[in-house]
Amino acid sequence: MANLQPATDCLGTRFKRILFCTDFSESADAAFEFALDAVVRRPGSKLYILHVVPEVQAQFWKSYIYEVDNIDAEAKRLIDQKVAEGYLPRIPAGVDVEAVYRVGPEAQCILDFAAETKIDLIVLGRHGKSGVHKALFGSVAEKIVRKARCAVLIIPVEYVKG
pLDDT tens track for 65-112: 444 556 677 778 899 999 999 999 999 999 999 999 998 889 999 999
| 13 pLDDT above the threshold of 90 | no
Q: Is the pLDDT of residue 11 over 50?
A: no
What domains appear along the chain, each with residue ranges and CATH number?
Answer: 15-161 (3.40.50.620)
Q: What are phi and psi of 148, to 5 degrees?
A: -65, 145
Amino acid letter, residue 54 = P
Nearest alpha-carbon partner for 153 in 123, 112, 132: 123
Distance in angstroms (rounded) separating the CA atoms of residues 72 and 33: 29
Cα–Cα distance for residue pair 39/111, rounded to 1 Å: 20
3-state SS, residue 151:
strand
- Compute φ and ψ for 118, nearest 5 degrees: 55, 50
Q: Residue 55 — very low, low, confident or very high, per pLDDT cuts 50/70/90? A: confident
| CA separation for the pair 50, 22 (Å, rounded) | 6
